[in-house]
Amino acid sequence: MSKTIAIAGMGWLGLPLAQRLKTLGYHVKGSVTQLEKATMLQQNGLEVFQVTITEDGVQGSARGFLKNADVIIVMIPPGLRRNTGSDYVLKMSHFLAEIEQAKIANCIFVSSISVYGDDQGLVTEKDIPKPENEAGRQIFQTEQLFFTSTCKTSILRFGGLFGGSRQPARYLAGRENLNGADAPVNLIHRNDCIGIIAEIIKQDAYGHIFNAVHPDHPVKADYYTQKTKDLRLEAPNFSKPDGTELYKQINSVNLTDILAYSFKNSL
């Protein structure tokens, strides 16, 4: 009997992930926050539920979404960059309570490398994160909630995401006096995000932390200058480093040691 996978967040990553998991023979369910989007996806043959998570609790069809799921993949963005004062930890604690009540055995919690501070330099999963801003602190707290829950959880810390219509070089094209010329890039293609998640499920690799970042780390100025050139866009201009900056470089030992994962897409 195939496993039932519930994906909380059917967006830029969740939707193609659902399609991949279906081709692998899993039964897939998804959730979105807007009823209109749920209806549209249902009309396209997907089993999708409208679920909204707020600081007051979980509204919508959470029970139907979580019912009989063997694995829950949580990829709900915190939205903390907009400085709304939102309490992501509180929101996700409400959702985790629903997950635990549904007695789902396993979870993949999609996190971010923003839990690491720049002054930590080169880090792997063996290093304890030292977040340097409120977003990083809230994400790290939420990781800990899930990691210690009754649902056995693997934490997946994604680097900067690209692929499909999302190409960071487009946002930097033509910009002036950008900082971080010498910073190593910490990126991952959407196809590898999907591949890593699929391997965690296939191998029942729960209870681990994975830094999901491509092992190549060209410096920011070189990388984005070349990428804008490839896209026939105006190259960005970087301010000259003064030699005192500290930058993080995210490496992974667990992708190799636990999953034996090989990256499919180059930078």
For 156-169, what is each residue's pLDDT tens digit?
999 999 999 899 99
Per residue in 192-201, pLDDT tens? Answer: 999 999 999 9
Nearest to 57 by CA among 31, 9, 91, 87: 91
What gap in Å lies between CA 196 and CA 26, rounded to an integer? 16
Distances (CA, A) of 103 to 27, 70, 106, 107, 157: 18, 9, 9, 11, 24
**Mean of the per-residue pLDDT values of the chain:** 95
Residue 241 has what DSSP assignment?
A: P
Are residues 17 and 7 in contact, defined by beta-carbon separation less than 8 angstroms? yes
The alpha helices in the chain, defined as continuous H runs, are: 14-23, 35-43, 62-66, 88-101, 134-147, 168-172, 190-203, 220-230, 254-257
Q: Which residues contact 43 (CB under 8 A, 6 or more apart)?
A: none
What gap in Å lies between CA 180 and CA 169, rounded to an integer? 14
pLDDT of residue 80: 59
Cβ-based neighbour number of residue 170 at 10 Å: 13
Burial (Cβ within 10 Å: 0-12, 13-18, ≥19) of residue 177? exposed
pLDDT tops 80 at residue 177: yes
Average pLDDT over residues 84-105: 93
Q: Using DSSP bridges, classify how beta strands 47-54 and 57-60 pair: parallel, antiparallel or unpaired.
A: antiparallel
pLDDT tops 80 at residue 83: no
Q: Using DSSP bridges, classify how beta strands 106-112 and 122-123 pair: parallel, antiparallel or unpaired.
A: unpaired
Amino acid residing at 112: S
What gap in Å lies between CA 92 and CA 146, rounded to an integer? 9
pLDDT bracket for residue 86 (50, 70, 90): confident
Are residues 70 and 106 in contact, defined by beta-carbon separation less than 8 angstroms? yes
pLDDT tops 60 at residue 144: yes
pLDDT tops 60 at residue 82: no
What gap in Å lies between CA 115 and CA 123, rounded to an integer? 11
Tell me how far the alpha carbon of residue 214 is from its chain's centroid.
Answer: 14
What gap in Å lies between CA 35 and CA 230, rounded to an integer? 39
pLDDT tops 70 at residue 85: no
- To the nearest 10°, the Cα dihedral for 170, 171, 176, 180? -100
Q: Which long-range contacts (CB under 8 A, 24 or more apart) does 125-130 make?
A: 125/208, 125/209, 125/210, 125/211, 125/252, 125/253, 125/254, 126/253
Task: Please give the structure tokens belonging to residue 132.
Answer: 């340097």
Are residues 27 and 1 in contact, defined by beta-carbon separation less than 8 angstroms? no
Q: What percent of the chain has pLDDT over 90?
A: 92
